[in-house]
Structure 1
Amino acid sequence: MRPVESSGFTSRAKLWPFVVLTLELVPEFTLSGVKDEIGSVYPARRRGISGATGSRDGSRGGSADPASTRGINSPNDEILTGELARMCGVSADTIRHYERVGVLPAPVRGANGYRYHVRESAGRVMLIRRAIAIGFSLAELARILRQRDQGTPPCRGVRALAGEKLAGLDRRIAEMQAMREELAGIVEEWDGQLAATREGEAAFLLEGLRKRKERP
């Protein structure tokens, strides 16, 4: 007599072909899902990680925007050192040098550890660059700007200093003009000496300078 199969075993036997079919299909769908996960989600996560490798002053590093993690101690009107440098057309090292010599206020440090300047610093940097271009030194500017930041108008002192620089520039221009006239005379004399000297012979041009009187 054949043993009687239990109803549970019979049900499982009937379902077995469907189980096999399912096992054959599941890997395909699973791998497809993993591929989609790797191809879309994982790169986004990698970008998020690599973007956080920028420097503390924003002058180099990844592409993440530190503004999203500034925190309550870094208002939106503040910018990174690197941003400030790009706005003003200078290097981040120049910005840091201006901080050290005292012509640019020190930046504040946000809750995320980044160093931030107020946006008004861009105007200060441009002022510094233009003042240097017309003859002011960083030491002079540090003294002037410190006085202004303390609430004392330095205008008359700035005007007096500019007047001194203008007078000095006029003196240098006069000296350069006199030097040019002297050099023009020497060149004319040397042209005459060379015209009277045969090719390959010494004209002793420099020796003739000993006979000339020095300019007062």
Structure 2
Amino acid sequence: MPTAPNGQGWPIRFGAVCLRAALYILLIAGLAQGAYLEAFHLEAVRFSERGFTELAQTALLATATLLLLDTWMRLRALPEVTLLLLAFVASSLIREQDVHLDAHVFDGAWQLLVSLVVLPTLYWVIRHRRRFLEQFAHFSNTFAFGLFAAGVLTTYVFSRLYGRADFWMAVLQEYYVRDFKSAAEEVVELLGYGLILIAVIEFALLARRWHRAQRAT
């Protein structure tokens, strides 16, 4: 096995770092601008399931899911870690479709689909826990892990607490409208999903470098 797949020994050129940073800035700025335009020009669907923010969340999660699926199936880099990340992101994607699934399939469909994704994955990871822990030791020292953790904390912790109705009632008082709370929570979630996608891109690029190094040995 070549240098451990934590990226050490595989320095990234400064120009490549700058290019990726610029692209990530454009991505985050584009998400913010999209939410801004939604507020001003998409009144009929503003922050609804058919609005920019919700559709962008789905697009981010779908892209991250496809990248992880490609990494897991084709590159086989850190397979147990990749599988767990894939299950988490795919479950988030399914959860974002809860309204459509409940309306067009059956009530509670998203819970069943998430269970079908998560339970076999957990079984596999637990069964191969020694390999998983060894791989996670490498993954936890990467930039991708830090970004992924930041995205998860932003989406599943901060946005939930920031979007509490009591908080917005206290801030807006007699001017409180539920749309304010929903917009704030959904936009923070959008940022979190953006960070998760960037983390997955970094992980996929790392996996490709590791795969090339492994083939060269």
Which TM-score applies when normalising by structure 2? 0.22
- Which structure has more helix as a fraction of its residues? 2
Higher RCO (CA < 8 A, seq sep 6+): 2
Q: Which has the higher strand share?
A: 1
